């Protein structure tokens, strides 16, 4: 919670500092570059709490999130697996230039049992790279974030590769403020290995939309907060 407050404050400072600039910067990286003496720590690129505008990753990527959809069925828990590492950096851009694999953006809401969005919910994602390999030394393709004021999350990454016994999947922990941690996994439609993976469940399968250079995967988490 403290970190999101800090990021939000930093973003406000950055915007305020950018105001006098004659030609407003079009993106966050420029703001961050101009404000090196103002803010340290998490960059505004990891801030998904920003209002609609140039810093909103949904606006930046032309993504219009469908209205929350749920029937009160909770997102099922899935095994954590052997590769979780606590202490991931707060970041929602896991993709790094030159990284192999298909570009992927994962978005959605975190919802309560009444299908209401939960702002400030914590999500911690970790996954294998396109070759099915986890970074167990560092934090590549690992990052945590908080839902924005609309209860939305945004993750920019690559499509994970398969590894022996496992279909394509992204691990995640989700927690409403003060709530229990749900550990689960996301899956992708139409993957042949889904049918041979004993852990796979269609209940956490994303819907995928092709945006040309990248795919947008959508999944709404529904948490039992009662």
Write out the two tokens for 162.
């398969």
Q: Phi/psi of residue 108, each to 5°?
A: 160, -170
Q: Which stretch binds Fe ion (CB under 5 A): 16-24, 42-50, 78-86, 201-209?
A: 78-86
d(CA 118, CA 218): 16
Token match 């800090």: residue?
6
Q: Which is nearer to Fe ion, 81 or 119 (CB)?
A: 81
Q: Which is nearer to Fe ion, 81 or 117 (CB)?
A: 81
161 binds Fe ion (CB under 5 A): no
Q: Which is nearer to Fe ion, 178 or 198 (CB)?
A: 198
Among 81, 119, 132, 161, binds Fe ion (CB under 5 A): 81
d(CA 84, CA 78): 13
**Between the CA atoms of 146, 148, 151 and 152, what dihedral angle is there, to the nearest 10 degrees?**
-90
Q: Which is nearer to Fe ion, 89 or 165 (CB)?
A: 165
Q: How far is the CB of 77 from Fe ion (least distance, A)?
A: 15
Q: How far is the CB of 46 from Fe ion (least distance, A)?
A: 23
Contacts of 90 (CB under 8 A, 6+ apart): 3, 7, 42, 46, 143, 144, 145
Task: Give the interface with Fe ion as residue ranges (CB under 5 A).
Answer: 81
């Amino acid at each position: 919670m403290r970190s999101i407050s800090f990021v939000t404050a930093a973003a406000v400072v950055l915007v305020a500092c950018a105001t006098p600039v004659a030609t407003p910067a079009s993106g966050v990286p420029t703001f961050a570059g101009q404000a090196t003496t103002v803010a340290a720590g998490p960059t505004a690129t990891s801030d998904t709490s920003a209002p609609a505008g140039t810093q909103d990753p949904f606006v930046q990527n032309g993504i219009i999130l469908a209205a929350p959809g749920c029937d009160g069925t909770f997102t099922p828990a899935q095994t954590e697996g052997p590769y979780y590492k606590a202490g991931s950096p707060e970041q929602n851009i896991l993709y790094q230039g030159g990284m192999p694999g298909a570009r992927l953006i994962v978005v959605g809401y975190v919802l309560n049992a009444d299908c209401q969005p939960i702002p400030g919910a914590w999500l911690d994602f970790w996954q294998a790279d396109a070759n099915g390999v986890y970074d167990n030394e560092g934090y590549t393709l690992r990052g945590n974030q908080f839902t924005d004021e609309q209860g939305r999350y945004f993750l920019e990454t690559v499509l994970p590769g398969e590894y022996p016994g496992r279909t394509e999947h992204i691990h995640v922990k989700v927690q409403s403020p003060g709530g229990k941690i749900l550990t689960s996994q996301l899956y992708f439609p139409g993957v042949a290995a889904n049918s041979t993976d004993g852990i796979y469940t269609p209940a956490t399968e994303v819907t995928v939309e092709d945006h040309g250079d990248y795919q947008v995967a959508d999944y709404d988490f529904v948490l039992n907060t009662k």
